Structure 1
Amino acid sequence: MSTGRHRRHRPGDDRLLTATRWTALAIVPFLVIAVAVLFAAPDRSGELFAWPINPPMSAYLLASAYVGGIAYFVAVWRERRWHRVRHGLPAVLVFAGALLVITLLHFGRFSQNLPFAVWLTLYATTPIAMVALLVLQGGADPRSPDPADVTIPRWARVALAVIGLSALCAGVAALVAPAWVAELWAWQLTELTARATGAVLTLTGVVNLAMLRDERWSAFRVLFGAQLLSLAAIAVSLVARRDDLLWERPLTAPFLALVAAAAVAYGALAVWAERRLRTMRVAASG
């Protein structure tokens, strides 16, 4: 019995399923509300968000990740080709799964309010939804470039994978040994905020490591746009909350260097790829 054209695809047809698009759209309002609360009223996060976050820099970092998430999920809603957004779903799966585990480990630290009920529901269901969508999308990626596409040089992919691996290692360390990382981090952390920071750092790692096996710019264009927005939000947050930074901590300079290196690398690659893409399209139309 057929399950309908919106629920299945032919292998390699590159079709983004309706279920994937609607799931992405359903997540966006929650992220928008979280960004508004965490940026505008971090001192009231215990009341308006899932738990009290202090200092505000931790709230700003989480909000910055959500800014990138909004851009990504809106793009998924608007997109029609699976390969252009596929590498984002594993990153969301790891991020959401980590936050679910963190919530269970620190359950008593969370506010027993409506925002926490929404938080718990969101992070209890998102990992399941991501796994289901990855299974449903199956082999939809044709593994071929777009008609007009750019091949990312191997050295650039390796360099970005190194940045991603650095972020992923730092994220895993914060998740596994939060007390140790909290003593070294660029601003004051509790075990809960250390682990939440670690979850944020995994996003870059999972996405960038995928570049080792995929050289298509079309497969990362959406994700790089989202990450650049997130990095811009982090940069603004670091300036706005510079008094939260503890310059004597061993990880302050490396964290700032990682943010700067990622911003420069993503920005440079995006400009280079978009220029080549524009040149290809002009040549094709002429």
Structure 2
Amino acid sequence: MTRPAALTRQGPDRLRPAARWLAVLLVPFLVVASVLLYLFPTRTEVLFAWTIAPPLSALFLACAYIGGIWFFARVARETRWHRVHRGFVAVLVFASLLLVATLLHWDRFHQGTFIFAVWATLYVTTPFLTAAVLWLHRGVDSGRPEERDYLLPGGVRAVLVAVGLAALAAGLALFLFPVQFGQSWAWDLTPLTARVVGAVLTLPGMVNLFLVRDARWSAFREVFQAQIVSLAFILLALFIGRDALTGPGAVPVVVGLCVSFLAYVTFYVYCERRRRVS
């Protein structure tokens, strides 16, 4: 199959500076939050914006931030918009949900502290900055595959869309009904942490939904890298915080995450091989 010529920096698929500047702005905050939550998950009462218990919830949020570090580090060096577009949509939904969660549970936060001021500022501004980046890039993506690309088969896309719908449904259920669905999770959740976990689950859900109308591997490659990195740290977090896995959903959640990691790695390697021979 003959591919169109690769689009240049000056072409319609060009990533605008605003996207790179937002990435450069967010990475340092994500690094600090990841270090605090992943290395010191038992000290959130003094180091973070609110007290997170059990520590496994802190580790889980840190894993989302670690995936974000990988994604935005790639954005900072990227030249083509379509390669990162789907990730920005997922970030918009995630940041918006955490803003809503912050407002709903305002009394649970360590108000008056520097770290809370940083948290509140980030989640008040990030949804609007991300939306602005998406607006600036409206109509930029031509929808054409790259010169060396791989078009995902319909059956594979259908499976990934189903996985995305399941993750999105679970995430929204936890966010909208944190008490009812939080009781069925793998570890104990408060209403706030249930909403945070739900917001994290929407990230892969939102990305995979775009596979309904976009078959280009190049449009998902970098976002899937971030998801694999995040899943790897999640599996390590489950081992570190294994004592907290006492909820009724412990077995299906752990098995589901393990299977997802293996499936995503296998899928990524397969697509990369197909891309190289195209």
For residues 81 and 50 of structure 1, the distance between their equivalents in structure 2, rounded to whole angstroms, comes to 35
Q: Mark the runs of 5 or more structure 2 residues left unpaired by the alignment.
A: 1-8
Which one is further off, 268-277 or 92-101? 268-277
Runs of 4+ with deviation above 4 angstroms: none
Contact 2:13 2:80 (8 Å CA) reproduced: yes
Query: Do residues 251 (structure 1) and 264 (structure 2) align?
Result: no
Question: What is the DSSP-based 3-state SS (H/G/I as helix, E as strand, rest coil) of the residue aligned with 1:87?
Answer: helix
Tell me the residue number matched to 2:184: 184
Q: Partner residue of 2:129? A: 129
The Cα shift of 1:46 comes to: 2.0
Residue-by-residue CA offset, 1:28-66 (whole Å, 9 max, x unaligned): 000000000001111211211110101111001000000
**Alpha-carbon shift at residue 115 of structure 1 (Å):** 0.7
Following superposition, the deviation at residue 261 of structure 1 comes to 2.9
1:248-278 alpha-carbon deviations (Å, 9 max, x no partner): x432222223212321221111111111222
**Cα distance in 2 between the residues matched to 1:146 and 1:130:** 25
Match of 1:84 in 2: 83
Report % sequence identity.
50
Aligned equivalent of 1:117: 117
| Whole-angstrom distance in 2 between the partners of 1:132 and 1:47 | 34
Task: Please list, as runs of the form range in 1=range in 2, the aligned pairs for 1:200-211 lying within 5 A after superposition.
Answer: 200-211=200-211
**Aligned match of 2:6:** none
Q: Does 1:57 align with 2:56?
A: yes
2:92 paired residue number:
93
Normalising to structure 2: TM-score of the pair? 0.94
CA deviation string 1:122-148 (max 9, x = no partner): 000000011111110111101000100
- Structure 1 stretches of 5 or more lacking a match? 1-8, 281-286
1:261 corresponding residue in structure 2: 259
State the distance in 2 between where 1:15 and 1:33 align: 30
CA distance in 1, matches of 2:240, 2:42: 15
AA paired with 1:251? Answer: G
Amino acid at match of 1:177: F
Give the structure 2 partner of residue 3 of structure 1. none
Q: Could you tell me how far apart the structure 2 residues matched to 1:43 and 1:111 are? A: 16
Give the aligned residue type for 1:26: L
Matching residue of 1:233: 233
- Provide the secondary structure at the position in 2 that maps to 1:43: coil
Distance 1:250 1:149 in 2: 43
Residue 94 of structure 1, CA deviation = 0.4
Q: 2: distance between equivalents of 1:98 and 1:254?
A: 25
